Chain A
Amino acid sequence: QTQQQGPLDISAENSEILDPQGRLIYWGDVNIIRGEERLRADRVEALFNRRQDGGDGGLRRVIATGEVFYIRPGEIARGDHGIYDLEANTITLTGAVVLTQGCNVSTGERLEADLDGGMARLFGGEGGRVRSIFFTGSEGPADTRDCPAPDVPGEGPRPFPGGR
């Protein structure tokens, strides 16, 4: 299971170190960028690995709530809250999930996506149904057409102070 490489950048209007064991809270238009992926939420609780020597290890797990958007090329998934597990490299969104891939749009109650294996499972929840619309036919693969992508709230990731 290859680990998603590349530096990880978190920006938010304000943040707070919750406790020395490595739990930080960010809130107010939080954006996490890693490579081509972006996770945006109103409030994020990030958990870091505790290194034996007491310093901060890598980000282990992100718990996001409020207008959670997971964006990567050709795909935008939205939910009320989400869990991004960097070690298993999976993301789980729940609550009014909308998955948009080019023009194909699917809605459900819960999305479990395995980010490197390429499997995404969308559930309708008990009694709920998964509904999706696909653009078929000869107009070619859906994503090349100019379908309006859903707009993501907030100004988007702010450059790291001092630039990268």
Chain B
Amino acid sequence: LQDEDGRAYLEANELVEDRARGVYIARGQVVMYSDGRTVRADEIHYDPALGRITARGSVEIHEPGQPGQTAEYVELDDELREGFARGFAALLENNGRTAAALALRRADGGVELSDAYYTACELCEDGSRQPTWRLRADQVIQDTGSQMIRYRNVRLDVRGVPVFYAPVFAHADPSVGRKSGFMGPDIDISNRLGFTWRQPYFWAISPHQDLTIAPRVMTEANPLLELTWRKRFWSGYVRAQTAATWEREFDRDGKFGDAGLRGHMFATGEFDINRFWRWGFGVQAVTGGDLFLRRYGYSEDAEGFESLFTAPRRDLISQIWTAGRGQAWYADAAAYQFNRLSDTFDDKRLPVAAPQLRGHYQLALPANTGVAEFSFNALSLTRELGDDYHRASAGVEWSRPVILPGGLRAEPFAVGRADIFDITERTNAGVETGRFDGSRALGAAGADVSWPFLRPGDRVDVILAPRLSAVAATGVDATIPPNFDSQTIDLDRSFMFAPVRSPGFDLWEDGARADIGLSAEFSEAGGSRGVELFAGRSIRLSGDERFPQGSGVSEDRSDWVAEGRLDYDWLRLGARARLDGDTWSANRVDANAAVQLWRASLSARYTDVSGAGAARNLREISVSTQLELTDRWSGFYRHLHDLDAGESRRIQTGFLYRDECTILRVYYQRENERVSRLGPSESLKFEIVLFTLGGAGSR
């Protein structure tokens, strides 16, 4: 149906030509098609002399690439472009909806609506249910030129009740992709900053680059400016955020010290070098030793700006790295440094790692004689105050599982490794107290034998799997380096059956040992329900004790390791414990539970490290519940409680309203971490997002 300019097609049940008035009247499921646009209606009058078309009765206007527009009565030119309609409704892209008593279609394709309203919520023709919100205005103009929707005398109705009025208002046309413009404000009330209003402006510099400029004004502190920049390249991306203010330090008793420029800088980026290799960087920096991030509510983990390595809590890490992965190898090289978010700790005592190298390569040996895994690891740490630590290790591990008659699975393995050390020990004041440089060659061999039995049932499969792992390791003569990377050891199922039992390279367990374990698994055939139990113990046959107290494996006969797991439709339980060999008291317990019942869900986690010899007592419980009140309203309560110190660390409670066009979230948050002089922080956060219009409230 190729038509040149100026041709209109008409189809109807009946066509009347009124020669006297020179008008054609088409009736009955009329379809008119002109210049790519289609109008459907019960009746269309066409006046060729004036070039006017009026359509009446459930009129639909369809334009290529545009959502439909409906009306009761439309007057258009015969190119179906310009004209006005009464009782006009348009479904914009991203389901923004406009409806108006009177609509004027402008030549540029935009629409001008009078006595109109705009919403993104479902519309009920019969008006049985008011949309959650809608913008009512005397005039609404969809301006395709500036890609905005402009309103005059606009009222925001929530469920039909006017709650907000503005003489003029505008927002980006939802059918337009990325558009610069003001985003919803973030409003927050907290005991530290008082009432805060953060007003972000989003500047879409180009389709793959944008900058968000977000000034923040606070009643209890000077204003702060925050910039967030993002750019996507052909082979990668960069994201950076910086904020700055001119203010004194303050804590719960008010301000102290003198004012100065304070701020932070987070940045991260990652780029592909080729099919195998990529590189990236991460920057996390904050002015002075002060607590800018915590005071102004920024995440101390640089959320959103993470990179390959993450720093422990309350530390920042800046890093540069490259990593490569092939079918049978992986390697990465990195340099990173830390600084601690504390105004009392001297960052000179923190290490700079330059470089850290890690490499793995797996080689399948010919004639099915097993698999050899080569690994390389080197770490060079330097500190201005404190120890320097340089180590390189290269190792190979051979293993070859074999199924013996009767279904016995044996996996013999052998490990060889060479380490080179150069460690200089200094006190925090920088005085050298010792130097250790040397190398050593280590070896171990053993076998991991398991003999699992299966009883397949029509509803439940049962698997019983006894397991024995025996390892003998070469003796370590005098060259035992100071222990830097293997200080914390915690015996559990994964540690027990590891060929080389050590979290790092500094500690090597020599002598012979045997680990026994029995696991039982009852799983529903084909389903996800099941119960799993495990119990095991490690027995040292020779070699002296290397592992520290509290590790559970410092004695010749280790603690008992017990694990249990239950998965049922609405209940999931998990528990791990280390029980003292003699007294059966729990040295360590980690338990978690998740319940999903009717409309409520609860998840809890308990950790108890308070057994004898534990380096630090730690008993903590965290609970999180969510209750679906209606299909739109839900309430939540989260609590992290330090049982050891007998006080709560973090409480969050609030409610959430969510439907197809709105999100409303109001919650109270109390963080009770006493960091230097900053007392606990309490804040009330709330957030409103009207789909396609943008959001407001705190992040």
Mark A residues whose CB is within 8 Å of B. 104, 106, 108, 117-124, 129-139, 141-142
Q: Which of A136, A139, A142 has the most CB of B within 10 A?
A: A136
Cα distance A135–B16 when bound, in Å?
Answer: 17
Inter-chain contacts of A138 with B (CB < 8 A): 6
Inter-chain contacts of B9 with A (CB < 8 A): 131-133
Given A135-B7, A136-B8, A137-B6: A129 touches B78 (CB 8 Å cut-off): no
Inter-chain contacts of B138 with A (CB < 8 A): none
The answer to whether A120 touches B7 (Cβ under 8 A) is no
- Taking a contact as CB atoms closer than 8 A, the residue among B10, B17, B78 that contacts A131 in the complex is B10
Cα distance A135–B9 when bound, in Å?
Answer: 9
25 A-B interface contacts by CB (under 8 A) = A108-B15, A119-B16, A119-B19, A120-B16, A121-B17, A122-B17, A123-B14, A124-B14, A130-B11, A130-B12, A130-B26, A131-B9, A131-B11, A132-B11, A133-B7, A133-B8, A133-B9, A134-B10, A135-B6, A135-B7, A136-B6, A136-B78, A137-B79, A138-B6, A142-B48
Proximity string of chain B (37-74) to chain A, C-beta cutoff 8 Å, 1 when within and 0 when not = 00000000010110100000000000000000000000
Beyond A118-B20, A120-B17, list 18 extra A-B contacts (CB 8 Å): A104-B48, A121-B16, A121-B17, A123-B14, A124-B28, A129-B12, A130-B10, A130-B14, A132-B10, A133-B10, A134-B7, A134-B8, A134-B48, A135-B7, A136-B6, A137-B5, A141-B49, A142-B48
The answer to whether B12 touches A124 (Cβ under 8 A) is yes
Cα distance A66–B84 when bound, in Å?
Answer: 47
The answer to whether B10 touches A141 (Cβ under 8 A) is no
Cα distance A135–B35 when bound, in Å?
Answer: 12
Cα distance A86–B231 when bound, in Å?
Answer: 82
Give chain A nearest CB distance to B42 CB in angstroms: 15
Proximity string of chain B (300-334) to chain A, C-beta cutoff 8 Å, 1 when within and 0 when not = 00000000000000000000000000000000000
Give chain B nearest CB distance to A52 CB in angstroms: 37
The answer to whether A137 touches B78 (Cβ under 8 A) is yes
Q: B31: nearest residue on chain A (CB-CB)?
A: A129
Cα distance A135–B34 when bound, in Å?
Answer: 10
Cα distance A104–B48 when bound, in Å?
Answer: 11
Given A118-B19, A142-B48: A130 touches B6 (CB 8 Å cut-off): no
Q: B9: nearest residue on chain A (CB-CB)?
A: A133
- Taking a contact as CB atoms closer than 8 A, the residue among B13, B48, B78 that contacts A141 in the complex is B48
Inter-chain contacts of A132 with B (CB < 8 A): 9-11, 15, 24
The answer to whether B16 touches A134 (Cβ under 8 A) is no
- Taking a contact as CB atoms closer than 8 A, the residue among B6, B12, B20, B48 that contacts A117 in the complex is B20
The answer to whether A134 touches B17 (Cβ under 8 A) is no
Give chain A nearest CB distance to B77 CB in angstroms: 9
Cα distance A38–B20 when bound, in Å?
Answer: 21
Inter-chain contacts of B11 with A (CB < 8 A): 129-132
Check B18 for interface membership: any CB of A closer than 8 A. Answer: yes
Q: B78: nearest residue on chain A (CB-CB)?
A: A136
Given A117-B20, A120-B19, A131-B9: A137 touches B14 (CB 8 Å cut-off): no
The answer to whether B14 touches A134 (Cβ under 8 A) is no
Cα distance A131–B15 when bound, in Å?
Answer: 9
Mark B residues whose CB is within 8 Å of A. 5-20, 24, 26, 28, 34, 46, 48-49, 51, 78-79
Cα distance A135–B48 when bound, in Å?
Answer: 8
Give chain B nearest CB distance to A117 CB in angstroms: 7
Inter-chain contacts of B46 with A (CB < 8 A): 134
The answer to whether A136 touches B15 (Cβ under 8 A) is no
Cα distance A141–B78 when bound, in Å?
Answer: 13
| Binding site secondary structure of chain B | strand
Cα distance A136–B16 when bound, in Å?
Answer: 18
The answer to whether A130 touches B15 (Cβ under 8 A) is yes
Cα distance A119–B17 when bound, in Å?
Answer: 6
Inter-chain contacts of A136 with B (CB < 8 A): 6-8, 34, 48, 51, 78-79
The answer to whether A124 touches B13 (Cβ under 8 A) is yes
The answer to whether B12 touches A139 (Cβ under 8 A) is no
Give chain A nearest CB distance to B46 CB in angstroms: 7
Cα distance A139–B13 when bound, in Å?
Answer: 28
Inter-chain contacts of A108 with B (CB < 8 A): 15
Q: B29: nearest residue on chain A (CB-CB)?
A: A129
Cα distance A123–B13 when bound, in Å?
Answer: 6
Cα distance A142–B28 when bound, in Å?
Answer: 25
Inter-chain contacts of A139 with B (CB < 8 A): 6
Cα distance A104–B26 when bound, in Å?
Answer: 15
Q: B28: nearest residue on chain A (CB-CB)?
A: A124
Inter-chain contacts of B18 with A (CB < 8 A): 118-119
Q: B16: nearest residue on chain A (CB-CB)?
A: A121
Cα distance A133–B6 when bound, in Å?
Answer: 11
Inter-chain contacts of A124 with B (CB < 8 A): 12-14, 28
Q: Which of A106, A108, A134 has the most CB of B within 10 A?
A: A134
Q: A126: nearest residue on chain B (CB-CB)?
A: B13
Q: A112: nearest residue on chain B (CB-CB)?
A: B16
Give chain B nearest CB distance to A119 CB in angstroms: 6
The answer to whether A137 touches B51 (Cβ under 8 A) is yes
Cα distance A104–B11 when bound, in Å?
Answer: 13
Q: Which of B8, B20, B51 has the most CB of A within 10 A?
A: B8
Q: A99: nearest residue on chain B (CB-CB)?
A: B17
Cα distance A138–B6 when bound, in Å?
Answer: 8
Give chain B nearest CB distance to A122 CB in angstroms: 5
Cα distance A136–B53 when bound, in Å?
Answer: 11
Cα distance A120–B14 when bound, in Å?
Answer: 11
Give chain A nearest CB distance to B154 CB in angstroms: 38
Give chain A nearest CB distance to B41 CB in angstroms: 15
Inter-chain contacts of B12 with A (CB < 8 A): 124, 129-130
Q: A139: nearest residue on chain B (CB-CB)?
A: B6
Give chain A nearest CB distance to B340 CB in angstroms: 76
Q: A127: nearest residue on chain B (CB-CB)?
A: B13
Cα distance A82–B8 when bound, in Å?
Answer: 29
Inter-chain contacts of A137 with B (CB < 8 A): 5-6, 51, 78-79
Cα distance A135–B6 when bound, in Å?
Answer: 6
Cα distance A122–B26 when bound, in Å?
Answer: 9
Q: Which of A123, A130, A138, A141 has the most CB of B within 10 A?
A: A130
Give chain B nearest CB distance to A145 CB in angstroms: 10
The answer to whether A130 touches B7 (Cβ under 8 A) is no
Give chain B nearest CB distance to A127 CB in angstroms: 9
Cα distance A132–B30 when bound, in Å?
Answer: 11
Please name the 7 residue pairs, one residue from A and one from B, whose CB atoms are nearest each other, closest first: A137-B6, A118-B19, A136-B78, A118-B20, A120-B17, A130-B15, A122-B15
Give chain A nearest CB distance to B255 CB in angstroms: 74
Inter-chain contacts of B16 with A (CB < 8 A): 119-122
Q: Which of A106, A119, A131, A132 has the most CB of B within 10 A?
A: A132
Inter-chain contacts of B10 with A (CB < 8 A): 130-134
Inter-chain contacts of B17 with A (CB < 8 A): 119-122
Give chain A nearest CB distance to B26 CB in angstroms: 7
- Taking a contact as CB atoms closer than 8 A, the residue among B5, B13, B34, B48 that contacts A130 in the complex is B13
The answer to whether A122 touches B14 (Cβ under 8 A) is yes
Give chain A nearest CB distance to B2 CB in angstroms: 13
- Taking a contact as CB atoms closer than 8 A, the residue among B8, B15, B20, B79 that contacts A106 in the complex is B15
Inter-chain contacts of A133 with B (CB < 8 A): 7-10
Cα distance A126–B31 when bound, in Å?
Answer: 18
Give chain A nearest CB distance to B516 CB in angstroms: 85
Inter-chain contacts of A104 with B (CB < 8 A): 48
Give chain B nearest CB distance to A123 CB in angstroms: 5
Cα distance A55–B49 when bound, in Å?
Answer: 49
Inter-chain contacts of A121 with B (CB < 8 A): 14-17
